[in-house]
């Protein structure tokens, strides 16, 4: 998270789960896990919206073990898997179009 965005987030007293996860440097699912374990307090606003208080997040960061919240290294193979997973339709479509064009113009 860049410093300008982080300063904007710090000015708010309650954060959304996306903002809180970004502030802690973890994913939203990890934040939900911490919330269900009771490590991080969450608040229901209007009985619908889950929000996190900055003071509680700072307290968690102070008592969190070293290395907690650090993102894992993304390897080249992870990126390749993600690329093919999210773009498989376009890749297969391009191959099908090339095969069709080959048979049309041969």
For the CA atoms of 71, 33, 57, 16, the dihedral, rounded to the nearest 10 degrees, stands at 90
| pLDDT tens for each residue of 3-60 | 665 555 555 788 888 888 888 888 888 898 999 988 888 888 887 888 999 888 888 8
pLDDT of residue 5: 58
Please answer whether residues 24 and 61 qualify as being in contact, where contact means their C-beta atoms are separated by less than 8 angstroms.
Answer: yes
pLDDT of residue 64: 72
Q: Decide: residue 54, CB within 10 A, 0-12 exposed, 13-18 middle, 19+ buried.
A: middle
Q: Tokens 């789960």 appear where?
A: 17
- Does pLDDT of 74 surpass 60? yes
If you ran DSSP here, which 8-state letter would residue 74 be given? P
- Indicate the pLDDT class of residue 92, thresholds 50, 70 and 90: very high
Q: Within the chain, where are the H helices? A: 3-11, 17-24, 28-37, 54-63, 76-105
- Does pLDDT of 67 surpass 60? no
- Looking at the domain covering 1-70, what would its CATH class be? mainly alpha
pLDDT of residue 102: 96
Q: Where are the domains of the chain?
A: 1-70, 73-106
pLDDT of residue 24: 85
- Does pLDDT of 100 surpass 90? yes
Query: What is the reported pTM?
Result: 0.51
């Amino acid at each position: 998270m860049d410093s300008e965005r982080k300063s904007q987030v710090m000015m708010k007293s309650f954060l959304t789960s996306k903002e809180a996860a970004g502030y802690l440097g973890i994913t939203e699912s990890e934040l939900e896990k911490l919330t269900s374990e009771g490590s991080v307090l969450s608040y229901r606003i209007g009985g619908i919206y889950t929000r996190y208080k900055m003071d509680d997040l700072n307290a968690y960061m102070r008592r969190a073990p070293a290395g907690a919240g650090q993102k894992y290294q993304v390897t080249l193979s992870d990126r390749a898997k993600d690329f093919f997973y999210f773009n498989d339709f376009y890749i297969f479509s391009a191959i099908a179009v090339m095969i069709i064009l080959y048979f049309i113009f041969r």
